Amino acid sequence: MSTQSKIPFDTKELKRYNRHFLLPQVGIAGQAKLKAARVLCVGAGGLGSPLLLYLAAAGIGTLGIVEDDIVDDSNLQRQILYSTNEVQQKKILAATARLQQLNPYITIETHDIRLSAANALTIISQYDMVADGTDNYVTRYLINDACFHLKKPHIYAGIFQFEGQCSIFNAPGGPCYRCLYDAPPPSEVMPNCAEGGVLGVLPGLLGTIQATEVIKLILGIGTPLIGRLLTVNSLDMQFREFTIHVHSQCSLCTYQQAFDLLPHHDVASCSAVDESDQEITVNQLQAIRANHTDFILLDVRDAYEYDIANIGGYLIPLAELINRLHELDKNKLIIVHCKSGTRSRQAVKLLQHAGFLQVKNLQGGIIAWAKQLDPRLAVY
């Protein structure tokens, strides 16, 4: 058998990966490792876009994608996998088409589902490692816990506004995510990009770092971010690094807690208010208005959001609420809303703590109002 016949690439692939072949740390043997690798990407949004594009371009043989969302206009500021023509399409279909156009020599495996405690072990077990492109703590802990029990590396990145971080968890001898943060913070006090905003180029920066770490792990080269948390502030372009040790009280690394016994929750249930009587729907709000009930509709968004679209609420941005409570009447029903319901839930808790007894949160916020009652209202 000739040497040429042992090379797992055809002529076009040899040309495509030429720049990798020139690197002594990669070469044909390293590129063959990339081709044999199976990498799961959870989330095909801001982080997932550059991550998937660069992994596909690098020749990762099999890319799995977990994603159940659709493309929205608001995604296009940072999610470079998609174009205006794909708005309202399933992300997983648009992403697959784009990645196959970029590299027809790789295989894309799609999971059009939200990762949950019921399916995480089954899905993740099919891959060598997981790249985490999610934007919520529930899924992040779920990925970490499943990777720990399946002995799969978890390549993590997180972004918010102008800052991001990246690390590798569950690698041999390294810490897990619970060594860094043993338990997730309350969901109502941790806004995501939809609530707090994000600089459009930031996920490109962090997603590219993630892709670099995935490739290094597969090739076994360099010094991966195992036991190291890399942080970046894009405003001053300062990179910092912190050491993460295996925590002596970690529920996984130390106490080996079973996956089924760890606290897992669905994202939807985690984002909901515990007490149902604190919630009110847009239809119920409309009925209250029609009955001319005496109440206060409190809008806790920022002023620029109010200028884009409003439903006539009294504007007190959440950040100012604690200092402006005197403007509200404790004897009246107060219905609080924001863009989607996250900030308004925080406001409800703050008001209740301050002694306001008649407080309701508008489910889905102004987005729900626009979608269900007034499609003319600008959705941003």
Quote the strand ranges of 91-207, DSSP E: 107-111, 129-132, 154-160, 163-169
Cβ-based neighbours of 250, under 8 Å, separated by 6 or more: 175, 176, 178, 179, 182
CA atoms within 13 A on the CB side of 199: 14
User: How far apart (Å, rounded) are the C-alpha atoms in residues 298 and 317?
Assistant: 9
User: How far apart (Å, rounded) are the C-alpha atoms in residues 364 and 367?
Assistant: 6
Active-site positions read 193, 338
Bridging pattern class, strands 228-233 and 238-243: antiparallel
CA atoms within 13 A on the CB side of 101: 8
Question: For residue 25, how many other CB atoms are within 10 A of its CB?
Answer: 11
Cβ proximity of 48 and 81 under 8 Å: yes
* Edge-to-edge strand ranges of the sheet holding 279-280: 279-280, 359-362, 333-337, 295-299, 314-315
User: How far apart (Å, rounded) are the C-alpha atoms in residues 26 and 28?
Assistant: 7
